[in-house]
Structure 1
Amino acid sequence: MDKLDKQMLDFLQDDGRLSISDLSRKLALSRPSVTERLHRLREKKVIEGFSARVALPAVGREILLIIQVSDLKVSPQEFESLIQKKEDIIECHRVTGDVSYFLKAAVSNMERMRLLIDSLMPYGSINTSTVLASPVSYRKILPNV
């Protein structure tokens, strides 16, 4: 990846809706060159896709949770299959150490939080933390130098 690819990633992470024309102007490259670079980055899976970042409170998900799952009572495959069906879970990470999984969940109210926690309890030991603030909720990711 060269300097122009890195700049393209930087611009697209600021605004994933930039047109090819806008990227062309910002990078001082022809539209065909920008298009080819963009296709190459997608083919190499550097760019996985484009999506919108949604403000959780704006869609009624006021409470953000970090849930630790340890002492798993089922297979990881069974647990992961269950988690994929739970819409309140917005991230799931299988990790090393005493904790098996870190889950990030967004719920609308305390009752919804209770129901989610109760539904997870049969599968392992659950430790839940409510997020008070997120000083770094998103960060652009660029290749290391």
Structure 2
Amino acid sequence: MDKLDVSLLKLLQEDGRMTVSELSKRLSLSRPSISERLLRLQEKGIILGFNARVSPAAIGRNVQLIIQISELKVSPQDFEQRLTQDEDILECHRVTGIVSHVLKAAVTGMDDLSKLVERLMPYGNVNTSVILSSPIINRIILPKE
């Protein structure tokens, strides 16, 4: 990756809807050159995709939480497969240490939080923390120099 690729990544992370024409103007490159770079970055797996970021609170999921699962009672693969079916789970990370999985979830309120915990309890020990604020989210990530 050269400096233009890094600049391209930065611009797209700031505004994923920026058009090829706008990127072309900002980086002083031709539109075909921008398109080629985008395709190459996607083929290399550097750009994973383009999507909209949705505010959980704006769609009624007012309670966001971090859940730690320890002492897993099923295989990690079975647990992870189960989680793919649960729409309250936004993220799942298998981690090292005493805790085997860290999840991020968004629910509508305390009743749904209780139901989510009950659904997870058969799989291991569940520890929940309600997110009070998120001072850093979706930070722009670029290669280290």
Tell me the TM-score normalised to structure 1 length: 0.98
Aligned residue pairs total: 145
What is the correspondence of 1:68-87 to structure 2 with a 5 Å cutoff? 68-87=68-87
**What's the counterpart of residue 6 of structure 2?**
6
CA RMSD of aligned residues (A): 0.6
SS of the equivalent of 2:122 reads helix
SS of the equivalent of 1:69 reads strand
Long gaps (5+) in structure 1: none
**What's the counterpart of residue 43 of structure 1?**
43
Long gaps (5+) in structure 2: none
Greater CA deviation, 131-140 or 86-95?
Answer: 131-140
Q: Distance in 1 between matches of 2:134 and 2:120?
A: 24
Q: Distance in 1 between matches of 2:102 and 2:87?
A: 16
2:10 maps to a residue whose letter is D
**What's the counterpart of residue 98 of structure 2?**
98
Q: Distance in 1 between matches of 2:114 and 2:58?
A: 21
Determine if the alignment matches structure 1 residue 58 to structure 2 residue 62.
no
What is the correspondence of 1:123-138 to structure 2 with a 5 Å cutoff? 123-138=123-138
Post-superposition CA distance 1:9-32 (Å, at most 9, x none): 000001111111000000000111
Sequence identity percentage: 57
1:25 maps to a residue whose letter is K
1:2 maps to a residue whose letter is D
Q: Distance in 2 between matches of 1:13 and 1:127?
A: 33
Determine if the alignment matches structure 1 residue 139 to structure 2 residue 139.
yes
**What's the counterpart of residue 120 of structure 1?**
120
